[in-house]
Structure 1
Amino acid sequence: MSPLDSSLLDGVPLAIRPLATESLWGQQPSCFHFSGEKPHLEAYFDAYFKYYAKQCNLIACHHNGEYSSVETHGDIMTIAQLLRKSLPRAEVRKRMSDFLKSANNTQPGEHENSINLVARLMLMVRIGKVPHEGSKGRYLNWEEGDLREFVYNCFAPPVTRRHDRIKLEKSFNALNLQRIGGIKIWWTENLADHLRMVDDDKGIFIFHHASFLEHQLHNSMYPPRFIEETLRTLKLLFPRYNPATKKWYEKAAAKSACGLDKRLIWIGNLNAEERQVDNFSYWHDRLVILKEVYDEARPSTLSQFWHDRRNGPQWYTFWVALWVLVLTILAIFLAVVQCIEGGMQVYIAMRP
C-alpha cells in the first residue's frame, strides 16, 4: 500500500513528505543548500508538516472525519492537482465525486470543507471558515472561480499610503519592535495575516514559515514576485547577521508550542538599497503602518530607554542626566550618613 493511501486519522507518516511536496506545489527548484545531517528536501519541512497535521486534525479528522469527505492523503493530493489546473471550484467539487470513496454518503458542505482544507495546505492561507477553529487571525472566503485567480485578487498590491518620511533603518527589526516599540509578536501560519497589526496596534502577526516560502519562489499559484517580496520582509525583520535577533528568535523557537520554523533566522539580510520602501508592493501598506507605529512608540521602562537609540543625542542626554541624578542622590545619602555618624560620635563622647 502506498503511504498516500494511509488514513488521515492515523496521522502524517514521514514517507509521504516527498510525494506531498510535489503533489501540492509541483516540481519546484529549491534554493536550499543541504547539509550532511539533512540530505533530503523533505527534511526541511518539519514546521510545515506540523501545520499539515494540524489542519488535517482540524478539518478532516474532526468528529472522526464527519466534517470532511477526504479520507486519505492521496485524496488530498488528487484534489490539489485539480486545483493547480485552475479549474473552477464548482468543477473541482463535481470531479471529487468520481474518486472519493465516501462521495455517495457525503453531507452538504463536506466537499466544500475538503476543498478548503486542500487550499490551505497548498497555500498556507486560511481559506474558509471553520466554526470550531480558535484563532485571532482572519479567514478568506473563496466561493467560486478558480483558486489561482482568487489568490491573485487577494494579494493584489494595494499601494495607497504615502511614505515620504518612512525609512526602514538597519535597526528596524522584529526584536526592536518588541523591546523598543512594545509591539507583541503573534506568530501566524496564515500568510494572509502577515504584517497585519492587531490589538489596537499593540500586536502584529508575522508569518514564520521561511522554509515553505523558499520552496515557493516559482509557484505560479501566487502572483509574480509575491513570494520573493514576502521573503524580503522576513530578511528585513530577522537579519541573519544580527546576533541579538538570532539569539532572541532561537530562544522563542525553543519555547514555542506552535513549532516555529528554525530556518527563518538564516535566510539572509537586506542592504540599504533593498530596504527602501519603494521596493515593496504587496506588503507596502502594512510595512508603512508598522513603521509609523514603531516611530511613534515612546519608551516607558528603563529597558526600553536603554535599547531605544533611534535618537542618539536624546539617548545620551537621558542617561547622562540619570547618572547625574543617581550620583547626586548617592552624595546626599553619604552626607546624611556622615551627619548621623558624627552625631552619634558626639552623643557617645558626651555620655557620663
Structure 2
Amino acid sequence: MNSIQSTPIVSLDSSFLESPIPSERQESIVAHFWRSRNKFPKQHFQPYFQYYTEQCRVVYQSHGNGLPIRTHQHIVEIATCVQDGSSRSEVNEFVQKCQWISDTTSQEAINASIDLTVRLLFMLDVGDFANAYSGRKKLLWVQGSMHDFVRETFSEAISLEHDGLRLDGAFNVCKMIRIAGFGVELTCNLYDHLRLRDVDKTVIIFHHASFLTVHRQTSIFPPGLVDETLATLALLFPQGDKEVQRWYNKQDDPEELDKNILSCGMVGRQIGSYRYWHDRLVMLKTEFDRTQPSTISQWWNDRRDGRQWYPLWVALSLTVLFGLVQSIEGALQVYKAYHP
C-alpha cells in the first residue's frame, strides 16, 4: 500500500467550520491526525468527517467568536502538541504562545480549543460544553498527558465474574432487539461503547469501525484496546448477516454510517479474552440471557435454547390443531342438529 505521507500538501488555512470539507483537505487532516503509514480509501473518511464538522459546530456554538481557533491548521497545530505527549499544562502554554492567539482570548476559550482538538483526535467526549449535555459522567482532562488520561479512562481492571456466560451466535444487535426488546443507540463517543442504559434498556454502540481500523497502526490508544473494540463489533454485527446489514443501513443517513462495521473480521466469543470491555459485556449478556420474551413474535424468534423452543412450539401447534378439530366437530354437530 502507498504511504499516507505521499499525500499532496493541501492548505489547511480554511475555516474549520466549512462544510462539507473537500476530500483533498480531509486527506491532509488525517495525514496529520492519524499518522498512519498507510493510505486509506476516501470512503473511510466520510463518517469521521461528519463527526468532525459536528463537533466543530458544537464547540463554536458554545463560545462563538471568542474561540481562538479559526482554521483546520490551528487544530492541527494543537493536535501535534497533544500527540507528542505534552501534559495539559504544556499544551495550554503552547496554545497561549501561538501567533493566532489574541491577548484578549480567555482561558475558557483556550480550554475549549484544546478539548475540541482532543475530541477530534480520540473520538472521546472530553470537556464540558453548555450545549452538549449528555446526562453521564463528564470526561475532563486536567493534568498529565492525554495518553495517560486515555489509559486511566479505559481500565483493564475486571470486577465481574463471567462463569457460565457464552457469547453465542444469538448475541447480536438484531437478536437483542427482536428477542429481548433491547434498544440500540449508535454513538460517536468511544467511552460510551457497550454501555447499557437501564432506564430504557438501551445498549450504546460506538460504530466508527474505519476510525478503529486506522488506529490499529498507531499508538494513541492503549495496547489491545482497538483490536478488542473491533472484536466486539464483529460480535454484534456479524459479517455476512443480511438482517444485521439491513438494520444498520436504516439507522441514519448514508453519510453518517460506517459500512466497515459490517466487515470487522473474526468474532471473539471467549468472554474471558476481553479486558477493556469485559465488565460491560458481562452486564449486557447477563441482561440478555435473563430477559424473557413478552410477545408472540419474540417467543417465535427466541431460539437461544433449542431444547425449550422446539417442545414449546410443538405443544402450541398441537394445541391449536386439537382446538381446530374440536371447533370443526362442534360446527358439524350444530349443522346436523338443524339438518337431520
Provide TM-score, normalisation by structure 2: 0.90
Work out whether residues 174 and 238 of structure 1, in 8 Å CA contact, stay in contact via their aligned partners in 2: yes
- Answer with 310-319 or 137-146: which moved more: 137-146
User: The residue matched to 1:204 in structure 2 has which SS?
Assistant: strand
The yes-or-no answer on 1:186 pairing with 2:185 is: yes
CA distance in 2, matches of 1:290, 1:10: 40
The yes-or-no answer on 1:101 pairing with 2:100 is: yes
Work out whether residues 226 and 282 of structure 1, in 8 Å CA contact, stay in contact via their aligned partners in 2: yes
CA spacing shift, 1:99–1:23, aligned 2, 3 Å? same
CA RMSD after TM alignment: 2.2
Deviation at 1:173, TM superposition (A): 1.5
CA spacing shift, 1:111–1:200, aligned 2, 3 Å? same
- Answer with 150-159 or 46-55: which moved more: 150-159
Corresponding position of 1:19: 28
Structure 2 gaps, min length 5: 1-8
Corresponding position of 1:160: 159
Amino acid at match of 1:328: F
Corresponding position of 2:312: 318
CA distance in 1, matches of 2:281, 2:232: 9
Corresponding position of 1:33: none
The yes-or-no answer on 1:265 pairing with 2:262 is: yes
CA distance in 2, matches of 1:318, 1:225: 43
Corresponding position of 2:292: 298
User: The residue matched to 2:185 in structure 1 has which SS?
Assistant: strand
Q: After superposition, what is the alpha-carbon deviation per residue over 1:206-225, rounded to whole angstroms, capped at 9, x for unaligned?
A: 00000110000122111011
Amino acid at match of 1:19: S
User: The residue matched to 2:256 in structure 1 has which SS?
Assistant: coil
Deviation at 1:288, TM superposition (A): 1.0
CA spacing shift, 1:259–1:137, aligned 2, 3 Å? farther
User: The residue matched to 2:205 in structure 1 has which SS?
Assistant: strand
Deviation at 1:117, TM superposition (A): 0.4
Corresponding position of 2:278: 284
CA spacing shift, 1:101–1:122, aligned 2, 3 Å? same
Amino acid at match of 1:232: A
Work out whether residues 209 and 264 of structure 2, in 8 Å CA contact, stay in contact via their aligned partners in 1: yes
CA distance in 2, matches of 1:258, 1:186: 17
Counting only pairs closer than 5 Å after superposition, residues 44-83 of structure 1 correspond to structure 2 as: 44-62=44-62, 64-66=64-66, 68-83=67-82
Amino acid at match of 2:288: Y
CA distance in 2, matches of 1:95, 1:63: 20
Work out whether residues 125 and 190 of structure 1, in 8 Å CA contact, stay in contact via their aligned partners in 2: yes
What is the number of residues matched between the two proteins?
331
Work out whether residues 69 and 100 of structure 1, in 8 Å CA contact, stay in contact via their aligned partners in 2: no
Provide TM-score, normalisation by structure 1: 0.87
Q: After superposition, what is the alpha-carbon deviation per residue over 1:156-192, rounded to whole angstroms, capped at 9, x for unaligned?
A: 2121111121111122222212211221111111000
CA distance in 2, matches of 1:100, 1:204: 45
Corresponding position of 1:84: 83
Deviation at 1:203, TM superposition (A): 1.1
User: The residue matched to 1:217 in structure 2 has which SS?
Assistant: helix
Q: After superposition, what is the alpha-carbon deviation per residue over 1:31-88, rounded to whole angstroms, capped at 9, x for unaligned?
A: xxxxxxxxx533311111000010000003546443x321111111110000001111
Q: After superposition, what is the alpha-carbon deviation per residue over 1:267-310, rounded to whole angstroms, capped at 9, x for unaligned?
A: 2232xxx4111211111111111111111111111111111111
Work out whether residues 126 and 190 of structure 1, in 8 Å CA contact, stay in contact via their aligned partners in 2: yes
CA distance in 2, matches of 1:199, 1:70: 39
Deviation at 1:257, TM superposition (A): 8.3
Structure 1 gaps, min length 5: 31-39, 347-352
CA distance in 2, matches of 1:223, 1:315: 43
The yes-or-no answer on 1:8 pairing with 2:16 is: yes
CA distance in 1, matches of 2:33, 2:277: 25
CA spacing shift, 1:269–1:201, aligned 2, 3 Å? farther
Which of these two proteins has the greater Rg computed from alpha carbons? 1
Work out whether residues 21 and 42 of structure 1, in 8 Å CA contact, stay in contact via their aligned partners in 2: no
Corresponding position of 2:132: 133
CA distance in 2, matches of 1:316, 1:100: 72
CA distance in 2, matches of 1:137, 1:184: 18
User: The residue matched to 2:96 in structure 1 has which SS?
Assistant: helix
CA spacing shift, 1:248–1:10, aligned 2, 3 Å? closer
User: The residue matched to 2:107 in structure 1 has which SS?
Assistant: coil
User: The residue matched to 1:206 in structure 2 has which SS?
Assistant: strand
Work out whether residues 62 and 130 of structure 2, in 8 Å CA contact, stay in contact via their aligned partners in 1: no
Identity between Structure 1 and Structure 2 (%): 34
Q: After superposition, what is the alpha-carbon deviation per residue over 1:121-174, rounded to whole angstroms, capped at 9, x for unaligned?
A: 000011011111143554311111111111111112121111121111122222
Amino acid at match of 1:334: I
Corresponding position of 2:41: 41
CA distance in 2, matches of 1:42, 1:97: 34
CA spacing shift, 1:188–1:161, aligned 2, 3 Å? same
Work out whether residues 113 and 128 of structure 1, in 8 Å CA contact, stay in contact via their aligned partners in 2: yes
CA distance in 2, matches of 1:135, 1:42: 31
Work out whether residues 95 and 101 of structure 2, in 8 Å CA contact, stay in contact via their aligned partners in 1: no
CA distance in 2, matches of 1:48, 1:61: 20
CA distance in 2, matches of 1:259, 1:142: 28
Corresponding position of 1:119: 118
